[in-house]
Structure 1
Amino acid sequence: MSEKNGPIGVFDSGYGGLTVFKEIVKQLPEYDYLYLGDNARVPYGTRSFETVYKYTWECVQHLFEKGCKLVILACNTASAKALRSIQQNNIPNLPDFRRVLGVIRPTAEIVGELTKTRKVGILATQGTISSESYVLEIGKFFPDIDVVQEACPMWVPLVENNEFNSNGADYFIQKNLNNILEKVSDIDTLILACTHYPLLLGKIKQYLPGNVQVVSQGGLVAASLKDYMVRHPEIERLCSKGGISEFYTTESTESFNEKAAIFLGHQVFSKHLALH
């Protein structure tokens, strides 16, 4: 078994995972990180289970090859469509110690503490909605909670094209929020179940009643990872500590650097990763 320490891998199909990455680094700054965005093959949200699993596993393997022992799928679509297969079918067959975690379970575990009416809304891509992953995961922990869902297909393009502060964004955000609030009258908690959506938070709050809270995943995932490290010292000791972050993209580094700055609030210099 290889015991050499390595960075924590953070994977997303594109840029949205940077909102989770940012919170993880904020809460666990001492570790090294390697972020990989599969920007060449976005979007994942509209692709089949088989394709998302294939793409996600390819990228996870690249992170393993670069020394990561622990990988976070900071992507709801990948967590919904690929995580279980990777954990059950791929990880057990590896020659040495590896772990892959997602973003859905940390959110599902905490939502029961957030809602009083026991009515929760999920805002996500069509792929995440179709997977029913949030409905199933929340049901495991809190079977009394009524979960309603709304696919928001225009929200990711608005963010990725830097249009999230435009008037066009207002139209689509208001439309989707009205849709989900009409489904169940007393929703008091909305989960942003796509890592792009926190950039729309300011506009989302404009169109919600004051009694409805909006939950972003980044802080929840980071807190869950911090707790995971305490509970699993055998994994924690394999994660290198130096406070260094590296960024890789499967597409144009210039484009990645420009858009990553929008998500992180500071400039990054990424490297290109060629897929096999």
Structure 2
Amino acid sequence: MKELPIGFIDSGFGGLTVVKQSLKQLPNESIIYLGDSARTPYGPRSLQEVKRYIWQMTNYLREKGIKMLVIACNTGTAAALEEIRATLAIPVVGVIHSGCRTAIKNTTGGHVGVIGTQGTINSNMYEEVMLEKADTLNITSIACPEFVELVESQNIETDEALDIINHRLEPLKEAKVDSLVLGCTHYPLLIDKIQKVMGPEVTLIDSGVETINEVSTLLDYFSLSRTAEEAALTPATQAIYTTGNASEFETFARQWLKQPELKVQECDIKGEIIVDRHDS
């Protein structure tokens, strides 16, 4: 079981920001990643539809064999985390709770901003989780649907991108938030521009670091961590799949993960099979 990879799923490129953190913090662990670029973006879709897609990807990776699942997608976490966690026998981690914990810990004035897809913002999950733990917080949330499209089209380094980001974040600047949660795993790919727009006094919260801290804790708790000695005998591997164009995904993944030899494979996912939690 320890030799199996950690599975990561997302609507496209975005979850690679979490994978990058995993490779940095957990170098002994193998990973398998599936990005559903053929159906991105998830934000405008209903949570029920997103849940179906998350289940399809989950079952695809379970057939490959994984020891833990990371839903590296905020919309996917909002739609499906609780059901998948209650159903599967392996540990399942989302990205929303870790972002909330970090925001609560880092806010200096109690005014937190949240940006995400329309689906994530509509779910109110960030507000519910944060207010349950810190009910005096003032939270301002806005949807930024164009941000995912900027990343997926690899249209980040343009004046147009900066104009879009500046326009979308104007309400948060007016609200004078002191911390801003990047409530979509695509958004760290825009972090420099977001910081430029918001100013240096605003702390940006990237949940990737905290998510992998949680993954590390659970690996130890369930005795699933691989040691350096085990990794020396059986080196860690990285397998990347996409439902979209493998060549485009490969170019992006190689650059972002700094792995020039990385291979990306196209896959076709279908079906929705919810298995008994004791099925292994």
Q: TM-score, normalised by structure 2?
A: 0.88
Distance 2:200 2:253 in 1: 31
Task: Report deviation, 1:26.
Answer: 0.4
Task: Report deviation, 1:121.
Answer: 0.2
1:34 aligns with 32
Distance 1:19 1:51 in 2: 24
Task: Report deviation, 1:262.
Answer: 4.1
Contact 1:121 1:189 in 2 (8 A): yes
1:271 aligns with 265
Question: Are positions 1:257 and 2:250 aligned together?
Answer: yes
SS for the counterpart of 1:177 is helix
SS for the counterpart of 1:154 is helix
SS for the counterpart of 2:239 is strand
Contact 2:12 2:152 in 1 (8 A): no
Task: Report deviation, 1:205.
Answer: 1.7
Matches within 5 A, 1:174-213: 174-182=166-174, 184-185=175-176, 187-213=177-203
SS for the counterpart of 2:204 is strand
| Deviations 1:57-78, CA, capped at 9 Å, x for gaps | 1110111111102110011110
Structure 2 unaligned segments of length 5 or more: list them: 271-280
- Greater shift in the superposed pair: 59-68 or 201-210: 201-210
| Deviations 1:58-109, CA, capped at 9 Å, x for gaps | 1101111111021100111101111112223x32xxxxx3222100111112
Contact 1:246 1:270 in 2 (8 A): yes
- Greater shift in the superposed pair: 111-120 or 255-264: 255-264
2:276 aligns with none
Identify the match of residue 61 of structure 2 among 60, 63, 78.
63
Q: Specify the code of the residue in structure 1 equivalent to 2:243.
A: T
What is the total number of aligned residue pairs between the two structures? 263
Contact 2:102 2:205 in 1 (8 A): no
Distance 1:79 1:99 in 2: 14
Contact 2:91 2:218 in 1 (8 A): no
Question: Are positions 1:110 and 2:106 aligned together?
Answer: no
Structure 1 unaligned segments of length 5 or more: list them: 92-96
Contact 1:199 1:263 in 2 (8 A): no
Distance 1:274 1:161 in 2: 21
Task: Report deviation, 1:207.
Answer: 1.7
Distance 2:197 2:38 in 1: 34
Contact 1:15 1:263 in 2 (8 A): no
Matches within 5 A, 1:2-151: 5-88=3-86, 90-91=87-88, 97-151=89-143
Task: Report deviation, 1:144.
Answer: 2.0
Change (3 A) 1:113 1:254: same
Contact 1:160 1:259 in 2 (8 A): no
Q: Specify the code of the residue in structure 1 equivalent to 2:267.
A: L
Contact 1:53 1:85 in 2 (8 A): no
Distance 1:252 1:155 in 2: 20
| Deviations 1:209-237, CA, capped at 9 Å, x for gaps | 3321112222221222222323x234447
Identify the match of residue 216 of structure 2 among 222, 226, 238.
226
Runs of 4+ deviating beyond 6 Å? none
Change (3 A) 1:64 1:51: same
Contact 1:108 1:141 in 2 (8 A): no
Q: Specify the code of the residue in structure 1 equivalent to 2:34.
A: L
Distance 2:61 2:155 in 1: 31
SS for the counterpart of 1:84 is helix
Q: Specify the code of the residue in structure 1 equivalent to 2:171.
A: N
CA RMSD of aligned residues (A): 1.8
Q: TM-score, normalised by structure 1?
A: 0.89
1:94 aligns with none
Distance 2:79 2:168 in 1: 23
Distance 1:209 1:110 in 2: 19
